[in-house]
Amino acid sequence: MKEKLAQIREKALAQIKSTDSLDKLNEVRISFLGKKGELTEVLKGMKDVAPEDRPQVGQIVNDTRAAIEEVLENAKKEISSKMRELQMKAEVIDVTLPAKKNNVGHCHPNTLALKEVKKIFMGMGYEVVEGPEVEFDYYNFEALNIPANHPAKDEQDTFYINDKIVLRTQTSSVQVHEMEKGHLPIRMISPGRVFRSDEVDATHSPCFHQVEGLVIDENITFADLKGTLALFAKELFGPDTKVKFRPHHFPFTEPSAEMDVSCFKCGGIGCRFCKGEGWIEILGCGMVHPHVFEMSGIDNDKYTGFAFGIGLERIALLKYEIDDMRLLYENDIRFLKQF
């Protein structure tokens, strides 16, 4: 019995020493100390040992088990330590490497231009007001002094939902809603999307954006209009910008004008950007027509006002020197990431 226990001990220690993984180490433990292990089988034969020798043999069995368990535990710690060391080497992190780039989006050129326009007018005390894109014909046309037989109401220019509802062709309809509220004076801009039946090309789109402005108060004159828009142009295009007003016709303003700004590329000398003219058209404007006041219930003997309309895409094209309006809508990341 003693010799057999010594053999089991030596055999177990030899196998433990040659083991290089935790799984194999567990197999060794089961083969010697498990329910059907070699040491357990020896214990089952204790009944054949003489009674006077059992204490001594039992002590040897316990010593053998303790020795095997101790070597098993030490081997387990050693193998675990080696595996951890190998894992650390395999998973090492080079803290000097650059981090993964976080691709964050940014504002569209139209949005950048709109933010700047809003900032300028809000700095002058204007309120930003929005309205519906699907509008009644009355607010889009008639309340703006555009009668039923006006060319702008032709179906080739306007998207009609039915005979009374259209996709708005201008954000001036928002101004009518504000005038009807009767809260005077008014200083507002109304940015938003508008729709016209235009062919897509470098300067036209069936869907684009406008920023309409309206001021109504007592004693408002054309001089206020000129001063306001001159300041706007200087803030947007630079302090040396000059403005020029040319007579024009709009049904909802009288007198009406189109405003040009001196070319901010050449200073008005003439270049490719301004087509050699030295001036660039940017908006239409005028004094609010008395009929518009009447239809909105405003006393035109007491109040006067001016209005203007800016094409947002035109501002973006000029400010960022883009030569084709279609680039704004093609969603080409190579183009948009420049801004």
CATH of the domain at 215: 3.30.930.10
Q: Which position has the token pair 């080696």?
A: 82
In a domain, 104, yes or no: no
Last-in-domain residue among 90, 123, 156: 90
Last-in-domain residue among 90, 119, 139: 90
In this structure, the answer to whether residues 20 and 135 fall within a common structural domain is: no
Task: Compute the distance between CA of residue 49 and CA of residue 4 in angstroms, rounded to an integer.
Answer: 13
In this structure, the answer to whether residues 132 and 280 fall within a common structural domain is: yes
Alpha-carbon distances of 9 from 28, 47, 221, 258, rounded to whole Å: 12, 21, 112, 106
In this structure, the answer to whether residues 63 and 130 fall within a common structural domain is: no
In a domain, 96, yes or no: no
In this structure, the answer to whether residues 79 and 213 fall within a common structural domain is: no
Residue type, 289: H
In this structure, the answer to whether residues 278 and 319 fall within a common structural domain is: yes
CA dihedral 111, 112, 114, 118 (to 10 degrees): 130
In this structure, the answer to whether residues 9 and 148 fall within a common structural domain is: no
Let me know if 243 is exposed, middle or buried by CB neighbors in 10 A (0-12, 13-18, 19+).
buried
In this structure, the answer to whether residues 71 and 116 fall within a common structural domain is: no
Last-in-domain residue among 28, 57, 90: 90
In a domain, 300, yes or no: yes
Query: How many Cα atoms are found within 13 Å in the side-chain-facing hemisphere of 259?
Result: 25
In this structure, the answer to whether residues 6 and 147 fall within a common structural domain is: no
In a domain, 75, yes or no: yes
In this structure, the answer to whether residues 245 and 188 fall within a common structural domain is: yes
Task: Compute the distance between CA of residue 147 and CA of residue 141 in angstroms, rounded to an integer.
Answer: 7
- What pLDDT is recorded for position 1? 62
In a domain, 102, yes or no: no
In a domain, 95, yes or no: no
In this structure, the answer to whether residues 39 and 152 fall within a common structural domain is: no
Closest CA to 234 of 124, 129, 95: 124
In a domain, 103, yes or no: no
Helix ranges restricted to H, the chain: 2-18, 22-33, 38-44, 54-90, 109-123, 137-140, 172-181, 222-237, 290-295, 312-319, 333-336
Phi, psi dihedrals of residue 118, rounded to the nearest 5°:
-60, -45
What range defines the domain where residue 39 resides?
2-90
How do the pLDDT tens digits run along the chain, 339 residues long? 667 777 777 777 787 778 878 888 778 777 777 777 676 666 666 666 666 666 776 777 777 778 777 888 888 888 888 888 888 888 777 778 888 888 788 889 999 999 999 999 999 999 999 999 999 999 999 999 988 887 766 656 888 999 899 999 999 999 999 999 989 999 999 999 999 988 888 888 899 999 999 999 999 999 999 999 999 999 998 898 999 999 999 999 999 999 999 988 787 788 877 788 889 899 999 999 999 999 999 999 999 999 999 999 989 988 888 888 899 988 888 888 888
In a domain, 178, yes or no: yes
Report the domain count for the chain.
2
In this structure, the answer to whether residues 14 and 48 fall within a common structural domain is: yes
CB atoms within 10 A of CB 331: 9
In this structure, the answer to whether residues 135 and 10 fall within a common structural domain is: no
